[in-house]
Homo-oligomer: A and B are copies of this chain.
Amino acid sequence: MAKHHRVSIGIDLGGTSIRVAVCDSSMRLLDSCSMTTRVAAGPQSAVEDMAAVVRQLLENGIKRGCHYDVVGVGIGSPGPINLRTGVLGSLPNFPGWDNFPLRDALTEALGLPVTLESDANAAAIAEWKLGAGKATGLESMIMITLGTGVGSGIILNGKIWHGMFGMGGEIGHATIDPDGLLCGCGSRGCLEMYSSANALLRLTLAIADSNDGTPALRKLADSPEMLSPLLVAQLAEKGDSGAKLAFHQLGRYLGIGVSNVINTLDVPMIVIGGGVASAWALFAKSMFQAMRDYSVVYRLVKPIQLEEQEHNCTFVCPAALGPSAGLLGASLLPYLNQSLELDTVEVQEIAQ
């Protein structure tokens, strides 16, 4: 006899790969698949690729004797997206995809209800419901993701805050320094230019070139094409003062950005995710110092709750789910969109 599962399907659309997951109503991963994103073939081909994989995963279930009752499909996409119409804006790494009606196209291809969100919002939902925010019971949380760029998702009173044009949460493009570096977005001095993975590499190269550069860091900087955040982190963990300084500088800038968010919104929790965030111990101290320096709200509320455990507190903390957050969040979207209850949630890590 077939096992019945209430499932949702999550799709994480990225510039290099598309990941698809089937999760049960406890957000346990039942099946998943990853494929290369054929960006050049255009968005309609990508939608057909996604639909084929979804059908394959559903058939796999039947072959294994499972009956899937699909509550819906969630997809996280890079922005900008018009979340009212479900139409893509001008995506930096997807030439030719402008103005593609992703939500409608996927709905038509699958014959299932589709919920579209930005990837940053999907990751924020996952961290809120299943990750760092899970045990807190908090209804408001902001996630800042330090990747190639800096993304963010804002959850206020249990709902994603979209803003008027679906463009809320561009915290990565808040100004840290009005006279600072020119950002790809066209503004100057954006947080993204100082706290992303790319920013870490730029800071590292600048330090290697300065009096603060150590022989080991200079050696690393001699092959800039080989340089990666991981290598800088490994050197810093060995105690290299130059590599440590790069993370220290990144943390200070991030702390200024976080301060502005706290001063503006006084949210109870900010989760820092993305690849760079795994080096938490290397930048947390300078981030918290900058928060003390730049946030009057943080200074006033901190003594109430977290004096003793600042570096391991719930107020500003590292993400818990790793790179699976976007895919898990996409799988959660149908539940949030339809106000469905999850069963007791037991998360297992999804391999990338």
Contacts and interface: CB of A to CB of B under 8 A. Distances in A.
Contacts of A185: 296
B294 A161 contact: no
Interface residues of A, number: 48
A198 interface: no
Interface string A159-177: 0011111111111011111
A352 B187 CA distance: 42
30 contacts: A140-B164, A154-B265, A156-B156, A161-B265, A162-B266, A163-B266, A163-B297, A164-B267, A164-B268, A164-B301, A165-B266, A170-B263, A170-B266, A170-B296, A170-B297, A173-B263, A173-B295, A173-B296, A174-B264, A175-B256, A175-B260, A178-B256, A178-B294, A187-B259, A187-B295, A187-B296, A188-B294, A189-B294, A260-B260, A261-B264
A80 interface: yes
A165 B300 contact: yes
Contacts of A161: 156, 265
Interface of A: 80, 89, 140, 154, 156-157, 161-171, 173-178, 185-190, 256, 259-261, 263-268, 293-297, 299-301, 304
Nearest to A90: B300
A264 B171 CA distance: 5
By secondary structure, the A interface counts as loop
A186 to B, nearest CB: 6
B259 A175 contact: yes
A263 B165 contact: no
Contacts of A293: 187-188
A341 to B, nearest CB: 23
